[in-house]
Chains A and B, each alone.
Chain A
Amino acid sequence: KAGVTQTPRYLIKTRGQQVTLSCSPISGHRSVSWYQQTPGQGLQFLFEYFSETQRNKGNFPGRFSGRQFSNSRSEMNVSTLELGDSALYLCASSLSPGGTDEQYFGPGTRLTVT
């Protein structure tokens, strides 16, 4: 079956703009998590959605938001972009939330803020 897909794969934005990233989970997976990966901070958890509800949120400012649709596809939005938001944004899907099921990661979206 198809893996986790993320679009777009690469994105260049200017400071102050906003951006929306998309994640399509593996068919049948209802849990979607988002992570930010940077060389300095490593992998940091952003939030997790299950059945269209945000289950948990990491320590990121309110500029970072997300949502999940009824078909389990998820989007994350970053408003008022800052240079420090440049990162690889990874999406992961699993059958259920809570950490007991294996997470399958997408290839990521590389965001560059100039």
Chain B
Amino acid sequence: AQSVTQPDIHITVSEGASLELRCNYSYGATPYLFWYVQSPGQGLQLLLKYFSGDTLVQGIKGFEAEFKRSQSSFNLRKPSVHWSDAAEYFCAVNGGTYKYIFGTGTRLKVLA
């Protein structure tokens, strides 16, 4: 069965520091992979997605993610975090079965 694991429930970084949010998935083949961000009281916004091809994917707001098949991972990174990046981040997979599976989310706190 498909599953997504985000091992870090909370992460705190200082503004200007680099960020890496972890995501591991379980799926028989290469699924479609996504990262979404949710600000308080808001719906989810897509940051980036991976379907195939180049394993380093660029997204909006300066985020990028790298797909590593050998590690079944799709970690999200940002070189320099801004205070406005404080939000909850969700990794999701879809194996083409009309159903998304979301991770439990990582809540990011940014210190000024």
Contact = CB atoms under 8 A, between A and B. Distances in A.
Interface of A: 4, 33, 35, 42-45, 48, 55-56, 58, 90, 92, 97-100, 102-108
Contact of A99 (B41, B90, B96, B103): B96
Which among A56, A90, A99 has the highest number of chain B CB atoms within 10 Å? A99
Closest 9 CB pairs of A and B: A99-B94, A105-B43, A43-B102, A56-B98, A105-B44, A42-B104, A55-B98, A107-B43, A56-B99
Contact of B99 (A4, A99, A108): A99
A55 B96 CA distance: 12
A33 B41 contact: no
A48 B102 CA distance: 15
Given A43-B90, A99-B32, A99-B94, A90 B99 contact: no
Contacts of B45: 105
B98 A103 contact: no
A100 B44 contact: no
Interface string B18-49: 00000000000000100010000111111001
A55 B100 CA distance: 13
Nearest to A58: B99
Contacts of A102: 46, 49
Q: Is the interface of A mostly helix, strand, loop or mixed?
A: strand
Contact of B102 (A4, A42, A98, A108): A42
Contacts of A44: 102
Interface residues of B, number: 24
Interface string B61-101: 00000000000000000000000000000101011111111
A48 B100 CA distance: 10
A4 B44 CA distance: 11
Nearest to B6: A42
A45 B105 contact: no
B46 A98 contact: no
B41 A107 contact: yes
A4 B97 contact: no
A58 to B, nearest CB: 7
